[in-house]
Chains A and B, each alone.
Chain A
Amino acid sequence: MYTFSNKLKTFSFILMILGALGVGYGFMTSHKSLDEVKAMLEAEAAEHGGGHGEETMAHVVAGDEVHSDNAHEVDTHGALEDLHKTEEHNDVQEADSMVVAETQVLDSTEVAHAEETSHDVAEVHDTIQESEEFSGFGATDINLAKEHHGDEHAEHVQHQIANRPWSALYVAAFFFMMIALGVLAFYAIQIASQAGWSPVLFRVMEGITAYVLPGALIVLLIAVASGTIGHYNLFIWMDPEVVEHDKLIQGKSSFLNLPWFIIRGLIFIAGWGLYRHFARKFSIAQDTAEDRSNFKKGFRISAAFLVFFIYTESMMSWDWIMSVDPHWFSTLFGWYVFASMFVSGITVIALITIYLKSRNYLEFVNENHLHDVAKYMFAFSIFWTYLWFSQFMLIWYSNIPEEVTYFVTRFQDYQLPFLGMVALNFIFPILMLMNADYKRIPWFVVMTGLVILFGHYIDIFNMIMPATVGDRWFIGIPEISSVMLFAGLFIFIVFTALTKAPLLAKGNPFAKESKEFHY
């Protein structure tokens, strides 16, 4: 039996308390008045050499930047189209490549068309600020006061600043929930496929999946609270004002409405929670059972759960992540989120196994098991990259305006995290974990695992943040504190669950094979 060391318990409490303080600080500092925001914007504009109040020459260099020729087509979304007709601006400037068109932009806030490839911060920054008008929130803003573009812009930025602590909390909550859910899927696959190597790790996996139920409820709670307590800080489709003026969201409102969102979420969570509860129950009952009936029951519900999981996981990713960008959709998104959760889950299995092994709690786990887990980390890092690239490349290649805006905002405002996560989640693990010998060295797997986890946090960050805070992102106190808060909670719940049962599932028919497993 595992005993939760006091040190670790204290550590988890410290994380939770510091995290909670930081989250509170984030919420307290995110309420800015309109005047404060205006003053801030003016200061920024001065710093960047102006550009807001003056007439600007926009150089539209189509094709000069990968996505550039589409950035200004963001507003070809059906709903926005008619609004923009009133403004005398040419929506589609399809300049041939190599042709430099100099356009005199009448209204300075339409400089969204200006596409600068240069990495000059000031220039990019200006471009970005304007292009926000066309991202998700644009719809409301345009409808507010067209004459007062200054106010409109400031209100928009004000909203983004207010969104930041919500998004930070949501990203961290989702990240830890997804680790536990990924482990649950991995666990079910191991049982359903009757794997011979993994039964010695079942109790570790069961410990991690203890976080699924509370973690998923917290995610749903934050999502709902952002639309009821908060001012629609995560999901703009929850805002009736936005939906009223947005034909695209109106068309989706039979799916995207708050009651149905909550019901769906509860169905997903109930299914996952029930499977986890019974799989754990049967696994523990099998330890002392005379026959194999509990194992058989566990096998059957695992197979059934996997069917349920792949449907609900996909829908969960539409609901909880994709709907932050309600104008955008992608068909392989569910798989993409799944790959991210699966590889993070397996990495956490490796980390906790190595930790428990180093404390001498798992004498039946040897380096061959570690090797297998590390192989999964390696393989699913590549699988994640495959899906990431497939989603990116298909959209980049066809360049359809209504799809490509998703990557345009990420390329412009999130260049470092967006491309950095490919290095963290692909290049790093593929080079580190390719060698068979390295996969058997605990500290090596730990170091790589930490990089992979960080990379997948950035992945979730990249999914949520561009839609909610836009270019007002930073990894600062709200983000780090949120991670600490949920990391503490995760550690506390997981290690408490580990103390509840022996660490070897000895009743499993494959337990002996697994103990003697070697590669």
Chain B
Amino acid sequence: MEASKVIHAIYTDDDVLMSAVKKVKAERYHIEEIYTPFPVHGLDKAMGLAPTRIAITSFMYGCIGLIVAILMMNFIMIEDWPQDIGGKPSFSYLQNMPAFVPIMFELTVFFAAHLMVITFYLRSRMWPFKNAENPDPRTTDDHFLMEITVNDNEAELAALLKDTGAVEVNLIDKAH
């Protein structure tokens, strides 16, 4: 296992962190990761992260849910056993559709919501009994941590980070 080195710069204010990110990006260093106790608005933009596509997946899941509802109700109520239940016209799907709309709606929402959440868990690698990947417990409370890879330039990088208002700059050996 090759050990690589990273620098952990710790901040105590999200505004300071934001300006630090902009400065580090301007110096063209690669930010590996940032740990924050709460969402910092605009951080993803400042880091240059690609926008999420989870809304698109959700739309597709919703379409699947709608199709499932239509196929299910069409098979059960129209094709398999078209009974006369209270005079509702069960000759074709369209004729009885208003009665199916509540189910179509709910299944669309159900699929869109649940599959999107599951997608989110999978993509962000979250599940029960997963080992927490937290370099510093303080980042869940009131500290912000920026992790930058080092390529034999730790001195100037440390100076830069100190300059941006980091309260601590630590060089860490990280096993990959």
Known: A396-B98, A397-B98. A63 touches B91 (CB 8 A): yes
Complex Cα spacing A396 to B89, Å? 11
Give the distance to chain A from B127, nearest Cβ to Cβ, in Å.
29
Give the distance to chain B from A429, nearest Cβ to Cβ, in Å.
15
* Chain A residue at minimal CB-CB distance from B55: A436
Q: Do B99 and A397 touch (CB < 8 A)? A: yes
B27 at the interface (CB under 8 A from A): no
Residues in B with CB closer than 8 Å to A389 are 98, 101
Residues in A with CB closer than 8 Å to B95 are 65-66
B35 at the interface (CB under 8 A from A): no
Q: Do B98 and A393 touch (CB < 8 A)? A: yes
Residues in A with CB closer than 8 Å to B110 are none
Q: Do B98 and A97 touch (CB < 8 A)? A: no
Give the distance to chain A from B73, nearest Cβ to Cβ, in Å.
15
Interface-central residue, B55, B87, B89, B101, by most chain A CB under 10 Å:
B89
B84 at the interface (CB under 8 A from A): yes
Q: Do A392 and B89 touch (CB < 8 A)? A: no
B93 at the interface (CB under 8 A from A): no
Give the distance to chain B from A231, nearest Cβ to Cβ, in Å.
38
Interface-central residue, A64, A97, A436, by most chain B CB under 10 Å:
A97
Interface-central residue, A66, A69, A96, A434, by most chain B CB under 10 Å:
A66
Residues in A with CB closer than 8 Å to B91 are 63-64
Mask, B16-48, CB within 8 Å of A = 1, is 000000000000000000000000000000000
Mask, A350-378, CB within 8 Å of B = 1, is 00000000000000000000000000000
* Chain A residue at minimal CB-CB distance from B84: A97
Give the distance to chain A from B28, nearest Cβ to Cβ, in Å.
27
Interface-central residue, B59, B91, B99, B101, by most chain A CB under 10 Å:
B91
Question: Which of B84, B89, B99, B101 meets A64, CB within 8 Å?
Answer: B89
A98 at the interface (CB under 8 A from B): yes
Q: Do A392 and B98 touch (CB < 8 A)? A: yes
A399 at the interface (CB under 8 A from B): yes
Which B residues, 68 to 109, have Cβ-Cβ distances below 8 Å to chain A?
84, 87, 89, 91, 95, 98-99, 101
Q: Do B59 and A393 touch (CB < 8 A)? A: no
Q: Do B87 and A63 touch (CB < 8 A)? A: yes
Q: How many residues of B contact A (CB 8 A)?
A: 10
Give the distance to chain A from B89, nearest Cβ to Cβ, in Å.
5
Mask, B112-142, CB within 8 Å of A = 1, is 0000000000000000000000000000000
Q: Do A69 and B98 touch (CB < 8 A)? A: no
Complex Cα spacing A434 to B58, Å? 12
Mask, B42-72, CB within 8 Å of A = 1, is 0000000000000100010000000000000
Give the distance to chain A from B50, nearest Cβ to Cβ, in Å.
14
* Chain B residue at minimal CB-CB distance from A66: B95
Residues in A with CB closer than 8 Å to B89 are 63-66, 97
Residues in B with CB closer than 8 Å to A397 are 98-99
Give the distance to chain B from A59, nearest Cβ to Cβ, in Å.
15
Residues in B with CB closer than 8 Å to A98 are 84
Q: Do A434 and B59 touch (CB < 8 A)? A: yes
Residues in A with CB closer than 8 Å to B87 are 62-63, 69, 97, 399
Which A residues, 372 to 424, have Cβ-Cβ distances below 8 Å to chain B?
389, 392-393, 396-397, 399
Give the distance to chain A from B151, nearest Cβ to Cβ, in Å.
37
Give the distance to chain B from A410, nearest Cβ to Cβ, in Å.
14
The 9 closest A-B pairs by CB, nearest first: A393-B98, A63-B89, A97-B84, A396-B98, A66-B95, A66-B89, A97-B87, A63-B87, A397-B99
Give the distance to chain B from A433, nearest Cβ to Cβ, in Å.
13
Question: Which of A96, A393, A396, A434 meets B84, CB within 8 Å?
Answer: A96
Complex Cα spacing A334 to B153, Å? 71
* Chain B residue at minimal CB-CB distance from A62: B87
Q: Show 10 A/B contacts (Cβ-Cβ < 8 Å), sorted by A.
A: A63-B87, A64-B91, A69-B87, A96-B84, A97-B84, A97-B87, A98-B84, A389-B101, A397-B99, A436-B55
Residues in A with CB closer than 8 Å to B59 are 434
Complex Cα spacing A393 to B99, Å? 7
* Chain B residue at minimal CB-CB distance from A394: B98
Give the distance to chain A from B129, nearest Cβ to Cβ, in Å.
36
Further contacts, 15 of them, CB under 8 A, given A65-B95, A393-B101, A396-B98: A63-B87, A63-B89, A63-B91, A64-B89, A64-B91, A65-B89, A66-B89, A66-B95, A97-B84, A97-B87, A98-B84, A389-B101, A393-B98, A397-B98, A434-B59
Which A residues, 50 to 66, have Cβ-Cβ distances below 8 Å to chain B?
62-66
Give the distance to chain B from A439, nearest Cβ to Cβ, in Å.
13
* Chain A residue at minimal CB-CB distance from B99: A397
Complex Cα spacing A63 to B85, Å? 11
Complex Cα spacing A98 to B55, Å? 46
Give the distance to chain B from A61, nearest Cβ to Cβ, in Å.
10
Complex Cα spacing A419 to B156, Å? 69
Residues in B with CB closer than 8 Å to A65 are 89, 95
Residues in B with CB closer than 8 Å to A399 are 87
Complex Cα spacing A434 to B101, Å? 20
Complex Cα spacing A62 to B91, Å? 12
